[in-house]
Amino acid sequence: MLPLEVRSILEEMRAERIRGASWLAVRGAEAYITLAEILKGGELENALREMKVEVPTVNRTMASLYNLSRFIPITGDAETVRARAEEFIRLAGEAKREIGNIGSELIDENEVVITHSFSSAILEVLRMAKKKGKSFRVILTESAPGYEGLALAGELESLGVPFEVITDAQIGISAKNATLALVGADNITRDGAVLNKAGTYPLALACHDNDIPFYVAAESFKLHPKLRANEVEIVERPYTRQGFRIRNRLFDVTPWRYIRGIITEFGILVPPKEI
Amino acid sequence: MLPLEVRSILEEMRAERIRGASWLAVRGAEAYITLAEILKGGELENALREMKVEVPTVNRTMASLYNLSRFIPITGDAETVRARAEEFIRLAGEAKREIGNIGSELIDENEVVITHSFSSAILEVLRMAKKKGKSFRVILTESAPGYEGLALAGELESLGVPFEVITDAQIGISAKNATLALVGADNITRDGAVLNKAGTYPLALACHDNDIPFYVAAESFKLHPKLRANEVEIVERPYTRQGFRIRNRLFDVTPWRYIRGIITEFGILVPPKEI
């Protein structure tokens, strides 16, 4: 049984509805630090074994949680666990900044960027582009039913970046009005597919149909070392409206052939197969 | 100035949020009948001239309203106006039934039909398929922000047709689970494009990407005799959520190349250009 403090962080992660795979991975690393403050020796080792199961199941679609659980060794040495978790957090921060640097170079003057849902990596790209003095605007979806897009709208408002919020259903008609598409990712599979918020795949198709370059921004810890797209479990969160059960798979799969490049902290990758 | 009774029908049409182009056209024809009951001679002629402007502007995207206003001659003879409006209503009813007959033949045993928003023509197809004893199921979008899809869900429930409601953003991932796509139309343009509820175009793209046949059902009065896709005005109905203005173009444009066929009362048409 994990200590109460750690279990409550995992609970908080499970309950989070706006922030995505990057935030969850960092919060998960903090859970490891908390664990290393409480336990040591054999108890710590047992708890780490439990964490290796618990952390990825917070959201089975997200490669970041799986990779975090692999990044932390199973050991009784609390100092090692703490150091490794801190390293993960440091690398995640550096990766985010570097993605901002690299990705913002894709944004030209008067660019019209279309995005879907809320991605902290995309926010960093846009923040950096603004910081570099570029003038551009953003089309973003409200992203029902959680309306994560409106959290992004709030951030853009603070940054002074002009934007237009659309319904999710306008993703096709609005792609025609954009010049560049940028989305985040929750999992990039071995076969180069991107799992991201449902709606990403139709956006990619509409961009492809209108010759709008479509890029994904993702820290390298979102690359899944083992699974192919059809092996990833897609988390569902159904709800009820007007008495009807609404199916709500949170993610969809965009095949590599619709992706121009994946912006990582190491540079822009083209998917692993021919493009 | 149109009589109060007629203006109130036009107001009701403008305020309608669930029912689509077919219903509006029939309601518009009823407005003509009401007009012919109240006015005659020169007054009727003047009112008809006004109707020719007013009826299409109830919703400028819908070809049905434009075609209705052309179907009714400008004359002082009230009996002619009434007879013509009644003929429109009769033809609309016959067309709907015939579309149901023809379209239901496309539905095979265990078909999984995906649709978007609410179309009375599609409902008729599904109703007829059920009546013919076919067993199939339907995937449908809730269709935010008006949730017209839930009105369809209610109808399917009454018919005893199994269905699954999804968020609009799952249109891509759900297309893979379908075997046939059926949608309605608000306007079929001279160049063979289909204007229908926004979200139809990404659904068509996802069907194309997954080799799912994509059909449109539309009475012939939805064929626009003059306009091309880029000449049709797309009606917008913006709203506010969490303090943000949400852009809400009601329709999008699906090019002919993604459409397998258009089910009309005359049979299944392939779009006017090469396919």
Give the Å distances, CA to CA, from B137 to A7, B96, B115, B204, B221: 42, 21, 11, 19, 29
- Would you say A196 and A188 are in contact if contact means Cβ atoms under 8 Å apart? no
Q: How many domains does chain B have?
A: 2
A217 is in which domain, residue-wise?
100-269
Tokens 């064929």 -> residue: B223
Chain B touched by A146 (CB under 8 Å): no
Which has the closest alpha carbon to B180: B222, B215, B131, B134?
B215
| Residue A196, number of CB atoms within 10 A of its CB | 30
**Does the CB of A177 have a partner CB in chain B at under 8 Å?**
no
What average pLDDT is seen over chain B? 96
Q: Is residue A275 part of a domain?
A: no
Does one domain contain both A72 and A174? no
B141 and A CB contact within 8 Å = yes
Residues B245 and B159 in one domain: yes
In a domain, A28, yes or no: yes
Q: Do A169 and B198 touch (CB under 8 A)?
A: yes
* Residues from chain B contacting residue A150 (CB–CB below 8 Å): 241-242, 244
Q: Nearest residue of B to residue A195 by CA position?
A: B173
Helix (H) or strand (E) holding A151: helix A148-159
Q: For residue A241, list chain B residues with Cβ-Cβ distance below 8 A.
A: 142, 147, 150
Q: How far apart are CA B201 and CA B264, in angstroms?
A: 20
Q: What confidence score (pLDDT) does residue B62 get?
A: 95
Whether A169 and B242 lie within 8 Å, measured CB to CB: no
Which residues have a Cβ under 8 Å from the Cβ of B108 and sit 6 or more positions away? B134, B136, B179
Are B27 and B146 within one domain?
no
pLDDT tens readout for residues B145-156: 999 999 999 999
Q: What CATH number does the domain containing A80 carry?
A: 1.20.120.420
**A199 contact residues in B (CB cutoff 8 A):** 168-172
- Which residues touch B36 (CB under 8 Å, ≥6 apart)? B44, B78, B79, B81, B82, B85
My answer on whether A191 and A262 are in the same domain is: yes
DSSP secondary structure letter of residue A177? T
Q: Which residue of the set B186, B209, B211, B252 is catalytic?
A: B186
Phi, psi of A222 (to 5 degrees): -100, 0
pLDDT range class, residue A197, cuts 50, 70, 90: very high
Active site residue B186: yes
Residues A261, A208, single domain; the answer is yes
Nearest residue, CB atoms, A172 vs list B164, B202, B244: B202
Distance CA B24, CA B13 (A): 6
Q: Are residues A171 and A262 in the same domain?
A: yes
What confidence tens digit (pLDDT) does each residue in B13-39 have? Answer: 999 988 889 999 999 999 999 999 999
If asked whether residues B142 and B213 sit together in one domain, one would say yes
Residue A270 pLDDT: 86
- How confident is the prediction along chain B (275 residues), in pLDDT tens digits per residue? 899 999 999 999 999 988 889 999 999 999 999 999 999 999 999 999 999 999 999 999 999 999 999 999 999 999 999 999 999 999 999 999 999 999 999 999 999 999 999 999 999 999 999 999 999 999 999 999 999 999 999 999 999 999 999 999 999 999 999 999 999 999 999 998 999 999 999 999 999 999 999 999 999 999 999 999 999 999 999 999 999 999 999 999 999 999 999 999 999 998 665 54
The CATH number covering residue A212 comes to 3.40.50.10470
Q: How far is CA B265 from CA B83, B220, B221, in A?
A: 21, 7, 10
CA dihedral A11, A13, A18, A21 (to 10 degrees): -160
Q: Is B205 on the interface with A (CB under 8 A)?
A: yes
Please state whether A45 falls in left (phi above 0), alpha (psi between -120 and 50) or beta.
alpha
User: Measuring CA to CA, how many Å separate A265 from each of A65, A121, A124, A262?
Assistant: 18, 10, 12, 10
Last residue of a domain, one of A37, A71, A96: A96
